[in-house]
Amino acid sequence: MGRTTRWILVGIAVMALVVGLVWQPWTATAEPQQRDRFADDRPVPSSESSPMSRDQFGQDRAGTVAPGKAIPFDGKRSLQYLTELCDIGPRVSGTAGMAKQQKRLVDHFEKHGAKVTRQEFPARQRSQKDAVTMTNLIASWHPDRKQRIILCSHYDTRPAADQEPNRRDWHKPFVSANDGTSGVAFLMELAHHMADIPTGAGVDFVLFDGEEYIFDPGVPGIREGDKYFFGSEHFAQDYAKQRGQLPYRYEAAVLLDLFAHADARLAVEGYSFAFAPGLVTQIWKIAESVGAKSFRFERGFGRSLDVLDDHVALNRAGIPAVDIIDFDYEHWHRLSDTPEKCSPQQMAEVAKVITTWLQGWK
Ligand SMILES: [Zn+2]
């Protein structure tokens, strides 16, 4: 490299630095503005199924929430459960890791007084030669009650950490802590308190298998990839088929996914509001009344705008279902999605909202 070329390169580097410095403050202030404008102008998803106008979204916020009995949800213990599950290693559908997790969960929920049902079904992924047996686990509290609520999460882990920038890292063991597993750990801790929560509803913890049994994500617009949501679709279709004959009815469902990190921002996800605006309003109103600051009664933004997740199948089967999610989680589908990214305080804050909400069912 000649001296002149070197100086040209140094010059370009200096210019890039100057542009970077000038640019950065501009983008930094632009982002919150954009978020605020978004929350203000577009609280209602564009989906046709949304029956509410923006004004209704605002108006529904009025009203008070009766205070509930305080439930001593132990955030630290829920994080211990999370660590314990992640220590099993990957828990991909149909693998030994998943089987080990299932056994641990069945034992745990039965020990705390739930009636556990294994909903098994064969599933064949498009990119795979053989079918696997998938299992939704259902832990039922007050199984005799006809008015029922679902609290749910997926409990399988993705075969590849496909957001790792270096492809060589994709197939290193991925434990998926906040993605799915945090919801399972949350429900494990909640199991300690279910007998003491004064609610008139029966509650089913539903753990979905095969949410992201994805080997081939496909190419958008060119080639269809693998199918998501095996577990929730099976559960929802099974329920819809039998609904006339069942002795109970699901009144509402809350899905927990990517909610447990310390700086979680739980805005309103689009499909939740499109399908179940009343339920969204109820839950976010309770969050406000109990001081759960991670819940924001505003439209999700960025990746959290409209999230296809397990709640969609439930809503399609006629169960109003809300996804409590912050998809803008930097460790999503990366090897760094590990238990210490999750916060005991955050889990306890979400528990305060959920347990207060459960007490509203008479
Ligand atoms: Zn995921």
The CA 157 to ligand 1 mean position distance, Å, reads 7
Amino acid identity at 203 = V
The dihedral over CA atoms of 73, 78, 79, 83, expressed in degrees to the nearest 10, equals 170
The CA 307 to ligand 1 mean position distance, Å, reads 11
Q: Would you say 197 and 71 are in contact if contact means Cβ atoms under 8 Å apart? A: yes
Output the domain CATH number for residue 83. Answer: 3.40.630.10
Reported as a pLDDT band with limits 50, 70 and 90, residue 304 is confident
The CA 287 to ligand 1 mean position distance, Å, reads 25
Please tell me whether residues 152 and 296 are part of one structural domain.
yes
Q: Would you say 271 and 300 are in contact if contact means Cβ atoms under 8 Å apart? A: no
The CA 218 to ligand 1 mean position distance, Å, reads 16
The CA 278 to ligand 1 mean position distance, Å, reads 27
Reported as a pLDDT band with limits 50, 70 and 90, residue 300 is confident
Please tell me whether residues 78 and 19 are part of one structural domain.
no
Please tell me whether residues 176 and 209 are part of one structural domain.
yes
Residue list, CB under 5 A from ion ligand 1: 179, 212
The pLDDT value recorded for residue 13 is 56
The CA 333 to ligand 1 mean position distance, Å, reads 6
Whose structure tokens read 């989680």? 329
Residues 43-94: tens digit of each pLDDT: 333 333 333 333 344 344 444 577 789 999 999 999 999 999 999 999 999 9
What's the CA gap between 93 and 24, in Å, rounded?
A: 43
pTM, two decimals, is 0.83
Provide the 8-state DSSP code for 303. Answer: G
Please tell me whether residues 134 and 209 are part of one structural domain.
yes
The CA 192 to ligand 1 mean position distance, Å, reads 27
The pLDDT value recorded for residue 66 is 73
The CA 332 to ligand 1 mean position distance, Å, reads 7
The CA 64 to ligand 1 mean position distance, Å, reads 36
The CA 276 to ligand 1 mean position distance, Å, reads 23
Domain assignment present for residue 48? The answer is no
The CA 139 to ligand 1 mean position distance, Å, reads 23
Please tell me whether residues 20 and 98 are part of one structural domain.
no
What's the CA gap between 52 and 277, in Å, rounded?
A: 7
Residues 154-208: tens digit of each pLDDT: 999 999 999 999 999 999 999 999 999 999 999 999 999 999 999 999 999 999 9
Q: Would you say 184 and 153 are in contact if contact means Cβ atoms under 8 Å apart? A: yes
Q: By residue range, what is the domain housing residue 18? A: 1-41
What's the CA gap between 300 and 22, in Å, rounded?
A: 29
The count of structural domains within the chain is: 2
The CA 161 to ligand 1 mean position distance, Å, reads 9
Please tell me whether residues 4 and 100 are part of one structural domain.
no
Which percentage of the chain shows pLDDT scores above 90? 78
The CA 159 to ligand 1 mean position distance, Å, reads 10
The pLDDT value recorded for residue 15 is 55
Domain assignment present for residue 49? The answer is no
Burial class (CB in 10 A: 0-12, 13-18, 19+), 74: middle
The CA 105 to ligand 1 mean position distance, Å, reads 20
Residues 35-50: tens digit of each pLDDT: 222 233 223 333 333 3
The CA 330 to ligand 1 mean position distance, Å, reads 12
Please tell me whether residues 62 and 13 are part of one structural domain.
no
The pLDDT value recorded for residue 48 is 35
Residues 224-253: tens digit of each pLDDT: 999 999 999 999 999 999 998 999 999 999
